[in-house]
Amino acid sequence: MNDQANKPHLVTAAIQMNSQQDIEKNLAAIKSAISDASHQGAHLVVLPENCCSMGRQFATAERFDALSATIAEYARSYGIYVLAGSLPCPYRPDGVIVPDGRLRQVSLLFAPDGTQVARYDKIHLFTATVADKQGSYNEAATFEPGTQTVVVPIEVDTGIYQLGMMVCFDLRFPALAQRLRQAGADLLSAPSAFTYLTGQAHWSLLLRARALDSQCMVIGAAQGGDHVYKNGDIRQTWGHTTITAFDGTIINSYEDSELNNAIHKDNKNYALILATLDKQTQQQGRQKMPIFDCHRLA
């Protein structure tokens, strides 16, 4: 008998996309990626930030409920947990419309039966000056920050795993990763759309650092490549989708910003990487270095 089959383990998939502003084409890529992950034995698939559209946030937000229902149906059809990296939403978790003409940046988790089991509203909003074509980024002009951390159980035949939810810029705040671990997280989701320059400088380092801070697996599903906006502007994202183990080692990664059609001869418009969370090995690592028993500042 295979000992690994009897160990508590969770097979995770992270998807890299090059989402444009054609929502239907993005949905087709999402559906194909979920199908692919399911057929490769994944229990959980994580989509990147802005998976349904890069830009056009207000127009996309008008379709929030319909897009959520579509991705929920994909989860049900393929019998897999699906984390919709982020969707712009016009209302708060309690249903109240976001004031001041802003939105919430929302990450949703759907169970294999299609039910929505978690909603996380991005807490940290990207504010930076970057030496790229856009130059200045201020997410708070469009979005209202969330206020609640979220840890949700993922129940599969190999056990129950606690998922702490983050989005993109959240990776720069170790206190959030630590709080999620203190709330019981085994793994952290980090759907992202890092700029090319900030990603090149910090993406891999941040994923590894947050894994070390929390002693959790970190799933960094990313946007990558050029995104052409309706006004002709082009935004570049770093890609390099990566899954990192609790000890800061990289388990698997897609080593490119662009989707490489020389690799994907069937011309897939996504890339997929897989990694397995071995809960027993992770727990042993935590016991050898019990940093949360020694924590004095939080």
Residues carrying an active site annotation? 49, 122, 168
Q: How far out from the chain centre does Cα 132 lie?
A: 24
Q: What order of strands is seen across the sheet that includes strand 151-156?
A: 151-156, 159-165, 187-189, 217-220, 242-244, 250-253
Comparing CA positions, the residue from 95, 91, 116 lying closest to residue 104 is 91
Strand positions, DSSP E, the chain: 9-17, 44-46, 81-89, 104-110, 116-121, 127-129, 136-138, 151-156, 159-165, 187-189, 217-220, 224-228, 234-238, 242-244, 250-253, 270-278
Rounded Cα distance between 36 and 268, Å, is 11
Q: Which amino acid, 160?
A: I
- Locate 43 and state its tokens: 């229990």
Cα dihedral: 52, 56, 60, 61 (round 10): 130
**Token pair belonging to 53:** 């559209």
Task: Give per-residue burial for 87-99: e unless 16+ CB within 10 Å, then b.
Answer: bbbeebeeeeebe
Sort 182 into a burial class: Cβ within 10 Å, 0-12 / 13-18 / 19+: middle
Q: How far apart are CA 23 and CA 194, in angstroms?
A: 20
Q: Which amino acid is at 284?
A: Q
